[in-house]
Amino acid sequence: MGLVRIAFLGTPAFAVPCLRALSQRFSVVGVVTQPDRPAGRGRRLQAPPVKLTSRELGLPLIQPEKVGSEEAQETLRGWAPDVIVVAAYGQILRPLVLDLPPFGCINVHASLLPRWRGASPVQHALLHGDQQTGTTLMKMDAGLDTGPILARRSHPIRVGHTAASLEDELAEIGARLIVESLPAYFAGDLQPVAQDEQEATYAPRLKHTDGRLDPGQTAEELQRRVRALNPRPGTYLPWDDLELAVLQARAAEETPGEPPGAVAAREGYPALATARGWLILEKLQLPGKKPMDGKTFLRGQPHLLGAKIATAAP
């Protein structure tokens, strides 16, 4: 076929490598991203990363509240895309969008579908101790990440991965995979294959309350939670009527001589006794303060030692 016309839907940093790669190989005729939203301590409007990249690349851009609105639909029809590529856009697409381009809509998803369908696949892969994850290209249908698969590429999960670092790597994999796969898809040499519904798992969006660290769990489980929820929504311990943010932590196998929830010093760091092992608190942050190394924090807040962190209600 001739010059391929692509419309791109995406919002956060995860989507930027895909947009850049597509703009280098194909004709990106327009970009749809979420509206600017308040962010940060000052709650000032902040442009999403895809908007900034679109401006840099000189691409047409719209930011509708709803991509299914008549105004947004009119713009999409005017762009006349052959295919729509979606990467972490943040809205469910209705059939009138899915059916608009002749080659449909292709989603770049940060998991090995059908494992971890939904809004937080990277976080849930880390939370559950998966040894590998990856990126999947899926031809979208009306379900939640249920469409047939065009291509997948696996990627190992390392001990030091946080959600942020793993997502960055998966974004680069997705960018390479989409530009490599589209020519074969357009030529009819890459056919979508239905997902195995029996293998499906779901990754719902994580809330602030999911970030509370429960000493009734094991140190290994809590270490995974700290990594999985970094940077959002973040993890914390309730202490002195405050939420003490835990930015970095690691599990120690030593058996605590204290009940779960007790705080003591280990290796110069504050450490939380858990159901199995100590959780060494390597980097902490009090509300309104700067992040601090755990050793430095302990020197300034020695009364943390001897504190008792409550386990979550059953």
pLDDT tens-digit readout, 231-269: 999 999 999 899 999 999 999 988 888 999 999 999 999
pLDDT tens-digit readout, 166-193: 999 999 999 999 999 999 999 999 999 9
Identify whether residues 122 and 231 lie together within a single domain.
no
Contact 226, 246 (CB under 8 A): yes
Identify whether residues 105 and 36 lie together within a single domain.
yes
Identify whether residues 132 and 259 lie together within a single domain.
no
Identify whether residues 185 and 36 lie together within a single domain.
yes
Identify whether residues 145 and 284 lie together within a single domain.
no
Residue 164 domain flag: yes
Identify whether residues 167 and 228 lie together within a single domain.
no
Exposure letters 183-203 (e unless 16+ CB within 10 A, then b): eebeeeeeebeebeeeeeeeb
- Final residue in a domain of this structure, among 165, 199, 233: 199
Identify whether residues 220 and 147 lie together within a single domain.
no
- Final residue in a domain of this structure, among 199, 217, 247: 199
| Both tokens assigned to 134 | 């990856």
Identify whether residues 257 and 146 lie together within a single domain.
no
Kindly tell me if the per-residue pLDDT of 60 is higher than 60: yes
Identify whether residues 192 and 215 lie together within a single domain.
no
Task: Give the span between the Cα atoms of 218 and 275, in whole angstroms.
Answer: 5
Identify whether residues 70 and 120 lie together within a single domain.
yes
- Model confidence at 2, pLDDT cuts 50, 70, 90, reads low
Residue 310 domain flag: no
Identify whether residues 222 and 106 lie together within a single domain.
no
Three-state secondary structure call for residue 260: coil
Domain range spanning residue 53? 5-199
Identify whether residues 119 and 234 lie together within a single domain.
no
pLDDT tens-digit readout, 127-149: 999 999 999 999 999 999 999 99
Average per-residue pLDDT for the chain: 95
pLDDT attached to residue 1: 61
Report how many domains make up the chain.
2
- Final residue in a domain of this structure, among 199, 232, 260: 199
Kindly tell me if the per-residue pLDDT of 314 is higher than 60: no
Q: Quick one: CA torsion of 98, 103, 109, 111, rounded to 10 degrees?
A: 120
Residue 313 domain flag: no
pTM strictly above 0.85: yes
Q: For residue 223, what is the domain's CATH number?
A: 3.10.25.10
Better-scored residue on pLDDT, 62 or 43: 62
Residue 193 domain flag: yes
